[in-house]
Structure 1
Amino acid sequence: MKPTRRCIRLAPLWVAAAGSGCGPPADAPPRAPEALVLARLEAADRDPESLAALIVRGRETFAEMECGTCHRFDDRPATGPSLAGVAGQPVRLADPAAAGGVREVTADRAYLWESIVHSQAAHVKGFEETTRMSRYAHVLGVEDVAGLIAWLETR
Protein backbone atom coordinates (compact mmCIF):
# COMPACT_ATOMS: atom_id res chain seq x y z
CA MET A 1 0.00 0.00 0.00
CA LYS A 2 1.40 3.37 -1.04
CA PRO A 3 1.60 5.90 1.83
CA THR A 4 -0.54 8.99 1.34
CA ARG A 5 0.20 12.55 2.30
CA ARG A 6 -2.45 13.82 4.63
CA CYS A 7 -2.58 17.56 5.22
CA ILE A 8 -4.56 19.23 7.96
CA ARG A 9 -5.47 22.86 8.48
CA LEU A 10 -4.31 24.40 11.75
CA ALA A 11 -4.90 28.10 12.37
CA PRO A 12 -4.09 29.87 9.10
CA LEU A 13 -1.56 27.32 7.83
CA TRP A 14 -1.65 23.88 6.28
CA VAL A 15 0.43 21.47 8.33
CA ALA A 16 1.52 18.00 7.39
CA ALA A 17 0.28 15.17 9.53
CA ALA A 18 3.12 13.00 10.80
CA GLY A 19 5.72 15.24 9.13
CA SER A 20 4.86 14.10 5.61
CA GLY A 21 5.18 17.61 4.16
CA CYS A 22 2.44 19.47 2.37
CA GLY A 23 2.39 22.31 -0.07
CA PRO A 24 5.24 23.43 -2.29
CA PRO A 25 8.79 22.24 -1.69
CA ALA A 26 10.92 24.38 0.63
CA ASP A 27 13.06 25.58 -2.28
CA ALA A 28 10.10 26.79 -4.37
CA PRO A 29 10.17 30.54 -5.02
CA PRO A 30 8.11 32.65 -2.59
CA ARG A 31 4.67 33.95 -3.58
CA ALA A 32 5.88 37.43 -2.59
CA PRO A 33 9.35 37.96 -4.11
CA GLU A 34 11.36 40.68 -2.40
CA ALA A 35 11.63 42.86 -5.51
CA LEU A 36 7.85 42.88 -6.02
CA VAL A 37 7.12 43.64 -2.36
CA LEU A 38 9.64 46.50 -2.26
CA ALA A 39 8.30 47.91 -5.55
CA ARG A 40 4.74 47.77 -4.17
CA LEU A 41 5.84 49.67 -1.06
CA GLU A 42 7.68 52.29 -3.13
CA ALA A 43 4.58 52.81 -5.28
CA ALA A 44 2.43 53.16 -2.15
CA ASP A 45 4.85 55.75 -0.76
CA ARG A 46 3.88 58.00 -3.69
CA ASP A 47 0.12 57.55 -3.22
CA PRO A 48 -1.34 58.27 0.25
CA GLU A 49 -4.60 56.40 -0.47
CA SER A 50 -2.74 53.33 -1.64
CA LEU A 51 -0.46 53.46 1.40
CA ALA A 52 -3.46 53.76 3.74
CA ALA A 53 -5.09 50.72 2.09
CA LEU A 54 -1.84 48.76 2.39
CA ILE A 55 -1.58 49.60 6.10
CA VAL A 56 -5.14 48.33 6.64
CA ARG A 57 -4.23 45.16 4.73
CA GLY A 58 -1.21 44.68 6.99
CA ARG A 59 -3.27 45.05 10.17
CA GLU A 60 -5.82 42.56 8.82
CA THR A 61 -3.11 40.09 7.77
CA PHE A 62 -1.49 40.35 11.22
CA ALA A 63 -4.83 39.46 12.82
CA GLU A 64 -5.75 36.76 10.28
CA MET A 65 -2.38 35.02 10.55
CA GLU A 66 -2.58 35.26 14.36
CA CYS A 67 0.83 36.95 14.59
CA GLY A 68 -0.19 38.50 17.91
CA THR A 69 -0.12 35.05 19.47
CA CYS A 70 3.68 35.30 19.62
CA HIS A 71 4.53 38.94 18.88
CA ARG A 72 3.58 41.94 21.02
CA PHE A 73 3.95 45.69 20.74
CA ASP A 74 4.98 46.20 24.36
CA ASP A 75 7.54 44.83 26.80
CA ARG A 76 5.44 41.93 28.10
CA PRO A 77 7.12 38.53 27.71
CA ALA A 78 6.20 36.74 24.50
CA THR A 79 7.30 33.76 22.44
CA GLY A 80 8.61 36.00 19.66
CA PRO A 81 10.43 39.32 19.71
CA SER A 82 8.54 42.55 20.31
CA LEU A 83 7.55 44.41 17.17
CA ALA A 84 7.12 47.78 18.89
CA GLY A 85 8.94 50.35 16.79
CA VAL A 86 11.01 47.68 15.05
CA ALA A 87 10.91 49.22 11.56
CA GLY A 88 14.06 51.21 10.88
CA GLN A 89 15.66 50.30 14.20
CA PRO A 90 18.76 48.21 14.98
CA VAL A 91 18.10 44.52 15.61
CA ARG A 92 20.56 42.19 17.33
CA LEU A 93 20.71 38.81 15.60
CA ALA A 94 22.27 35.64 16.94
CA ASP A 95 25.22 34.84 14.68
CA PRO A 96 27.80 32.29 15.85
CA ALA A 97 30.25 33.55 13.18
CA ALA A 98 30.17 37.15 14.45
CA ALA A 99 32.27 38.55 17.27
CA GLY A 100 30.48 37.80 20.53
CA GLY A 101 27.90 35.71 18.65
CA VAL A 102 25.84 38.79 17.76
CA ARG A 103 25.39 40.71 14.52
CA GLU A 104 23.48 43.98 14.38
CA VAL A 105 21.36 44.93 11.37
CA THR A 106 18.80 47.62 10.65
CA ALA A 107 15.20 46.49 10.35
CA ASP A 108 14.74 48.06 6.93
CA ARG A 109 12.16 46.83 4.45
CA ALA A 110 14.45 44.12 3.08
CA TYR A 111 15.08 42.77 6.59
CA LEU A 112 11.36 42.84 7.41
CA TRP A 113 10.60 41.02 4.13
CA GLU A 114 13.12 38.29 4.96
CA SER A 115 11.86 38.00 8.55
CA ILE A 116 8.30 37.43 7.31
CA VAL A 117 8.90 35.33 4.22
CA HIS A 118 11.97 33.36 5.34
CA SER A 119 11.55 33.53 9.09
CA GLN A 120 14.21 30.92 9.85
CA ALA A 121 16.98 32.81 8.03
CA ALA A 122 18.07 34.67 11.18
CA HIS A 123 17.01 34.73 14.82
CA VAL A 124 16.76 37.76 17.05
CA LYS A 125 19.22 37.42 19.93
CA GLY A 126 17.45 35.87 22.89
CA PHE A 127 14.95 34.02 20.71
CA GLU A 128 17.25 31.40 19.16
CA GLU A 129 15.56 28.56 21.01
CA THR A 130 12.01 29.87 21.13
CA THR A 131 11.65 31.05 17.54
CA ARG A 132 9.47 28.53 15.78
CA MET A 133 7.79 30.89 13.34
CA SER A 134 6.47 29.07 10.32
CA ARG A 135 7.68 29.74 6.80
CA TYR A 136 5.28 32.11 5.11
CA ALA A 137 7.00 32.10 1.72
CA HIS A 138 4.21 30.06 0.13
CA VAL A 139 1.32 31.41 2.18
CA LEU A 140 1.49 35.19 1.89
CA GLY A 141 1.21 37.14 -1.35
CA VAL A 142 2.74 40.47 -2.35
CA GLU A 143 -0.12 42.57 -0.92
CA ASP A 144 -0.02 40.65 2.38
CA VAL A 145 3.71 41.07 2.94
CA ALA A 146 3.82 44.67 1.69
CA GLY A 147 0.86 45.41 3.95
CA LEU A 148 2.55 43.87 6.98
CA ILE A 149 5.68 45.91 6.38
CA ALA A 150 3.72 49.14 5.82
CA TRP A 151 1.72 48.52 8.99
CA LEU A 152 4.87 47.73 11.03
CA GLU A 153 6.32 51.04 9.86
CA THR A 154 3.42 52.78 11.64
CA ARG A 155 3.81 50.92 14.95
Structure 2
Amino acid sequence: MQRKPYEVFEHTADIGISAFGTTLAELFIHAAQGMESVMVAPEQIHETMSCAISVEGHDHIALLISWLNELIFLFDTEYLLFRSFEITAITDNHLEGRATGERYDRERHDLGSAVKAATWHEASIERRDNGYQARIILDL
Protein backbone atom coordinates (compact mmCIF):
# COMPACT_ATOMS: atom_id res chain seq x y z
CA MET A 1 0.00 0.00 0.00
CA GLN A 2 1.35 3.43 -0.96
CA ARG A 3 1.63 6.11 1.72
CA LYS A 4 -0.66 9.15 1.44
CA PRO A 5 1.16 12.36 0.48
CA TYR A 6 -0.04 14.10 3.64
CA GLU A 7 -2.00 13.52 6.85
CA VAL A 8 -3.94 16.08 8.87
CA PHE A 9 -3.95 15.73 12.67
CA GLU A 10 -5.56 17.57 15.58
CA HIS A 11 -3.30 19.69 17.79
CA THR A 12 -4.75 21.46 20.86
CA ALA A 13 -6.74 24.38 19.36
CA ASP A 14 -4.84 24.18 16.08
CA ILE A 15 -4.36 21.57 13.37
CA GLY A 16 -1.23 19.95 12.02
CA ILE A 17 0.03 18.42 8.80
CA SER A 18 2.51 15.64 8.32
CA ALA A 19 3.65 15.74 4.70
CA PHE A 20 5.79 13.23 2.85
CA GLY A 21 7.84 13.39 -0.35
CA THR A 22 10.63 11.57 -2.11
CA THR A 23 12.20 14.98 -2.90
CA LEU A 24 12.07 18.35 -1.15
CA ALA A 25 9.98 19.74 -4.01
CA GLU A 26 7.46 16.91 -3.66
CA LEU A 27 7.41 17.44 0.13
CA PHE A 28 6.58 21.14 -0.30
CA ILE A 29 3.83 20.32 -2.83
CA HIS A 30 2.27 17.76 -0.48
CA ALA A 31 2.43 20.16 2.47
CA ALA A 32 0.61 22.79 0.39
CA GLN A 33 -2.02 20.25 -0.68
CA GLY A 34 -2.55 19.24 2.94
CA MET A 35 -2.93 22.82 4.11
CA GLU A 36 -5.35 23.72 1.32
CA SER A 37 -7.43 20.62 2.12
CA VAL A 38 -7.98 22.00 5.62
CA MET A 39 -9.61 25.09 4.07
CA VAL A 40 -11.61 23.51 1.20
CA ALA A 41 -11.92 19.96 -0.15
CA PRO A 42 -9.61 19.72 -3.21
CA GLU A 43 -12.36 18.31 -5.46
CA GLN A 44 -14.28 21.59 -5.02
CA ILE A 45 -11.47 23.66 -6.55
CA HIS A 46 -11.34 24.17 -10.31
CA GLU A 47 -7.99 24.96 -11.92
CA THR A 48 -8.84 28.14 -13.83
CA MET A 49 -5.86 30.35 -13.01
CA SER A 50 -2.33 30.14 -11.66
CA CYS A 51 0.16 32.45 -10.07
CA ALA A 52 3.91 32.44 -9.63
CA ILE A 53 5.23 32.25 -6.10
CA SER A 54 8.72 33.13 -4.92
CA VAL A 55 9.77 32.91 -1.27
CA GLU A 56 12.94 33.05 0.81
CA GLY A 57 13.98 31.37 4.06
CA HIS A 58 17.20 30.84 6.01
CA ASP A 59 16.81 27.03 5.85
CA HIS A 60 14.38 24.40 4.56
CA ILE A 61 11.98 24.74 7.50
CA ALA A 62 11.86 28.53 7.13
CA LEU A 63 11.35 28.06 3.40
CA LEU A 64 8.43 25.67 3.95
CA ILE A 65 6.79 28.04 6.44
CA SER A 66 7.28 30.97 4.02
CA TRP A 67 5.78 28.91 1.15
CA LEU A 68 2.69 27.97 3.16
CA ASN A 69 2.26 31.47 4.59
CA GLU A 70 2.43 32.95 1.08
CA LEU A 71 -0.46 30.67 0.05
CA ILE A 72 -2.41 31.82 3.13
CA PHE A 73 -1.64 35.45 2.24
CA LEU A 74 -3.02 34.91 -1.28
CA PHE A 75 -6.24 33.53 0.18
CA ASP A 76 -6.51 36.37 2.71
CA THR A 77 -5.86 39.15 0.19
CA GLU A 78 -7.12 37.79 -3.14
CA TYR A 79 -9.42 34.93 -2.00
CA LEU A 80 -7.41 32.38 -3.98
CA LEU A 81 -7.77 28.67 -3.34
CA PHE A 82 -5.29 26.26 -4.88
CA ARG A 83 -5.52 22.64 -5.93
CA SER A 84 -2.22 21.91 -7.69
CA PHE A 85 1.31 23.10 -7.18
CA GLU A 86 4.60 23.03 -9.03
CA ILE A 87 8.06 23.76 -7.65
CA THR A 88 10.25 25.02 -10.47
CA ALA A 89 13.37 25.73 -8.37
CA ILE A 90 14.36 25.05 -4.79
CA THR A 91 17.64 25.71 -2.97
CA ASP A 92 18.54 25.86 0.71
CA ASN A 93 17.03 29.35 1.01
CA HIS A 94 14.93 30.09 -2.10
CA LEU A 95 11.85 28.59 -3.75
CA GLU A 96 10.17 29.34 -7.07
CA GLY A 97 6.88 27.72 -7.91
CA ARG A 98 3.33 27.96 -9.25
CA ALA A 99 -0.01 27.40 -7.60
CA THR A 100 -3.11 26.68 -9.68
CA GLY A 101 -6.71 27.05 -8.58
CA GLU A 102 -9.45 29.66 -8.51
CA ARG A 103 -11.05 32.44 -6.48
CA TYR A 104 -13.20 31.47 -3.52
CA ASP A 105 -16.90 31.26 -4.42
CA ARG A 106 -19.18 30.89 -1.40
CA GLU A 107 -21.84 29.32 -3.63
CA ARG A 108 -19.55 26.40 -4.56
CA HIS A 109 -16.87 26.14 -1.88
CA ASP A 110 -17.61 24.75 1.57
CA LEU A 111 -15.03 26.63 3.60
CA GLY A 112 -13.67 24.43 6.38
CA SER A 113 -11.19 25.94 8.81
CA ALA A 114 -9.75 29.37 8.25
CA VAL A 115 -5.97 29.04 8.47
CA LYS A 116 -4.22 32.10 9.94
CA ALA A 117 -0.62 30.94 9.65
CA ALA A 118 1.87 28.10 9.37
CA THR A 119 3.76 28.26 12.67
CA TRP A 120 7.24 27.47 13.96
CA HIS A 121 5.77 25.42 16.82
CA GLU A 122 7.07 21.84 16.43
CA ALA A 123 8.00 22.56 12.78
CA SER A 124 10.39 19.99 11.38
CA ILE A 125 11.71 18.41 8.21
CA GLU A 126 13.40 15.03 8.51
CA ARG A 127 15.38 13.12 5.91
CA ARG A 128 14.20 9.51 5.76
CA ASP A 129 15.39 6.46 3.82
CA ASN A 130 12.61 6.96 1.29
CA GLY A 131 12.64 10.77 1.17
CA TYR A 132 11.44 13.49 3.53
CA GLN A 133 8.80 14.05 6.17
CA ALA A 134 7.64 17.45 7.41
CA ARG A 135 5.51 18.36 10.39
CA ILE A 136 3.80 21.75 10.50
CA ILE A 137 1.25 23.16 12.95
CA LEU A 138 -1.32 25.54 11.45
CA ASP A 139 -2.81 28.34 13.53
CA LEU A 140 -6.58 28.42 13.01
TM-score (normalised: structure 2): 0.29
Higher strand share: 2
